[in-house]
Structure 1
């Protein structure tokens, strides 16, 4: 036995099964596809949900209503308690400063929620604020610019 006598474990490399090469091969004539029918034909496929000609379930069920999913607004959520820990008095809280402090990631608007204690006087320039967050910020002497109550 040599150090570099490498080989695959038994059963790892299987011989490819060649079909449709005559009767003597054992896989001739119908080539393992059975006898006749759509599935034995070249290109014989059906669409997903096909039920053999019966009216498919997705067409039998009524589709009603409206989904707001395509039109939803996605926000990154940051709580006032986290902002209290990472910001000093007089600083401006905007998406750039939140990214620098590790509270938000880029390209998604930020919404500030009012969870936690808040006592610092900060200036907020964010996409959205909750009503409780706005109340706490103003009570602490801070300012809010360009954010509606969402």
Structure 2
């Protein structure tokens, strides 16, 4: 037998139905689209249209808010860190940060930072540098003799309205001092 003689068994692959090729084909005339009207034509999109009745997506009240600027943290449990240490993929002597976790195969990518969760048991002494951690996770790491370092939270600058009010108050104070 040669490579050019390889073939599927007879009937293993069924050919596709050719639509609109005569009434005798079984999918002729209307081509499986029913009978008449707008939906039988091509290029029609009537998603959510309910015949003039107020559609469901407009009858329901608007709820909530999706913040597009919300940070996307990668969550890692302390039990998963212990598995990586036991498998000798993670070195407990070196500081553990996002890049070390990616190199060890614990996470795929860092995204906006790593958030440590407290599920599982930890016995290795680890020096962790993460974007955030739960109270339980911090307690478990410190109980094992390790440390958790998180960056200081950024202090938000005042908004435009507050800045304008502050500038106006300073201007009034300067004007009052000049009159005295």
Unaligned runs of 5+ in 1: 20-24
| Structure with greater proportional helix content | 2
- The CA deviation at 1:131 is 0.8
Contact 1:125 1:144 in 2 (8 A): yes
Is residue 93 of structure 2 the alignment partner of residue 90 of structure 1?
yes
1:79 is matched with 77
CA distance 1:57–1:120, change in 2 (3 Å): closer
Do the aligned residues in 2 keep the contact of 1:38 with 1:44 (CA within 8 Å)?
A: no
Q: Following TM superposition, by how much is the alpha carbon of 1:122 offset from its aligned partner in structure 2, in angstroms?
A: 2.1
**Residue 135 of structure 2: aligned partner:** 131
User: Offset at 1:88?
Assistant: 4.5
Q: TM-score, normalised by structure 1?
A: 0.60
Q: Contact between 2:102 and 2:110, CA under 8 Å: does it hold in 1?
A: no
Given the alignment, which residue of 11, 15, 21 partners 1:12? 15
Counterpart of 1:22 in structure 2 is none
Gaps of 5+ in 2: 154-180
1:55 aligned residue: 54
Shift in alpha-carbon separation, 1:102–1:14, aligned structure 2, 3 A: closer
Instruction: Give distance in 2, aligned partners of 1:44 and 1:118.
Output: 59
Q: In structure 1, which of residues 103, 106, 113 is the aligned counterpart of residue 106 of structure 2?
A: 103
Deviates more, 1:86-95 or 1:96-105: 86-95
* TM-align CA RMSD: 3.9
| Closer, same or farther: CA 74–64 of 1 in aligned 2, 3 Å | same
> Which region of structure 1 is more displaced relative to structure 2, 101-110 or 62-71?
62-71
